[in-house]
Amino acid sequence: MSGAPWYFDCDTGIDDALTLGLLVAEGADLKGIGSVSGNLSAAGGARNTLDLMALMGRPDVPVAVGAHDPIGGVFGGGAEFVHGANGIGEVELPHVGEPVAESAAAMLVRLAHEHPGTLRVLAVGPLTNLALALELEPELPSLVADVVIMGGAALVPGNVSAVAEANIWNDPIAAQAVFDAAWPVTMVGLDVTMLARFEESHRTELAAGGAAPAALAAMLDVYFQYYTPILGRPSCALHDPLAAAIALGVVVPTLAPVAPVEVDTTDGPGRGQTLVDLRGRFVGYPAQPDVRHTVPLEIAEGFGDRLLESLLRLP
Ligand code: RIB
Ligand code: CA
């Protein structure tokens, strides 16, 4: 568990919902949560986040609606085929609470000023809110301890194109701004998140837990339907939960080189590709003192078991 204050940015989303569960179960000190359009609209993501946090016993955490459109573009409509029409696998939760009045970007800037040097940022959707916060407060990188994102792919294929991962593809300009800023960024990409899995046995055990675990298990029906043909058996990838686990120190990658990352911001076939300079690979990735990007490439097996153990602690 990390005692640091956290700002969490998400597009809630089934794997985002599992991540909220992990953060709550691990006792992360969540100071605020921002939503962003991605899996569904930013407004819909905030609704899901509020309802899930109430179900998990944390209705006190403020939730801010973030950017609807990507930088310089228009929101394309979400990923209903992955997460269902309401983003959480058609599971209907009681509506509890309302978002706060400030935007997600303003919330991030405010929290950074309230917790200078200690605020940790975990972002598991498109990076629009972080880019807008950098515009609002150019000193933001010096106020934030570090940024962990779920996004990108270094040595493996993309998931929305041959080369691009969804969060980066949805707002490549914002992603480039986040990698350009002078803060440490850990890019938890498809290299490791496609290795982190929930199997049918995990879902069955989760369904037998309390109200929150059972609701999460019900959402997984839709997510498993999407992933079963991709992975070859009933199961799913645990993208966002793995990013949170790495941020919290619950999972320590077995290989995570420091390597510069650039994003393809064109509208061509490379749109959204993360170009990770791994040329140090054959000499053991020598230290690069001026580089601020870390890219996990390998993890040990067993994250699904660890996530299940945490989620079953929820009410
Ligand atoms: O590519 C995986 C990412 O896209 C995850 O953050 C998931 O929630 C989806 O939005
Ligand atoms: Ca997400």
pLDDT one digit per residue (tens) for the chain, 315 residues: 448 999 999 999 999 999 999 999 999 999 999 999 999 999 999 999 999 999 999 999 999 999 999 999 999 999 999 999 999 999 999 999 999 999 999 999 999 999 999 999 999 999 999 999 999 999 999 999 999 999 999 999 999 999 999 999 999 999 999 999 999 999 999 999 999 999 999 999 999 999 999 999 999 999 999 999 999 999 999 999 999 999 999 999 999 999 999 999 999 999 999 999 999 999 999 999 999 999 999 999 999 999 999 999 999
Of 12, 14, 16, the one to substitute when testing ligand 1's pocket (max ligand atoms within 8 A of C-beta) is: 16
Give the Å distance between the CA of 282 and the centre of ligand 2. 33
Please tell me the distance from the alpha carbon of residue 299 to that of residue 312, in angstroms, as a whole number. 23
User: Among residues 60, 64, 58, 59, which one has the least CA distance to residue 43?
Assistant: 64
Domain tally, the chain: 1
CB of residue 236 inside a 6 A radius of ligand 1: no
- In the prediction, which pLDDT does 58 show? 98
Ligand positioned closest to the Cα atom of 80:
1
* Nearest in space to 168 (alpha carbons), one of 176, 90, 279: 176
Contact residues for 136 (Cβ-Cβ < 8 A; gap 6+): 105, 106, 109
Q: Return the pLDDT at 1.
A: 41
Q: Whose CA is nearest to atom 1 of ligand 1?
A: 166
In degrees, to the nearest 5, what angle opens at C-alpha 107 toward C-alphas 10 and 40? 25
- Could you tell me if the CB of 14 is within 6 A of ligand 1? no
Domain of 179? 5-311
User: Separation of 284 CA from ligand 2 center, angstroms?
Assistant: 32
Q: Are 269 and 208 in contact (CB under 8 A)?
A: no
Catalytically active residues are 11, 239
- In this prediction, residue 269 carries a pLDDT of 97
- Indicate whether residue 171 lines ligand 1 (CB < 6 A): no
For residue 197, the domain's CATH number is 3.90.245.10
Element (H, E) at 199: strand 197-199
Backbone angles phi, psi at 218, to 5 degrees: -65, -40
- Report yes or no on whether pTM surpasses 0.95: yes
Atom of ligand 1 nearest to the CA of 193: 2
Q: At 178, is the secondary structure helix, strand, or coil?
A: helix
Cα(240) to ligand 1 centroid in Å equals 7
Rounded-to-integer distance, Cα 308 and Cα 244, Å: 14
Of 106, 120, 79, residue with least CA distance to 227: 79
How many angstroms separate the Cα of 15 from the Cα of each of 77, 108, 123, 216?
Answer: 18, 22, 13, 9
Q: What is the pLDDT of residue 185?
A: 98
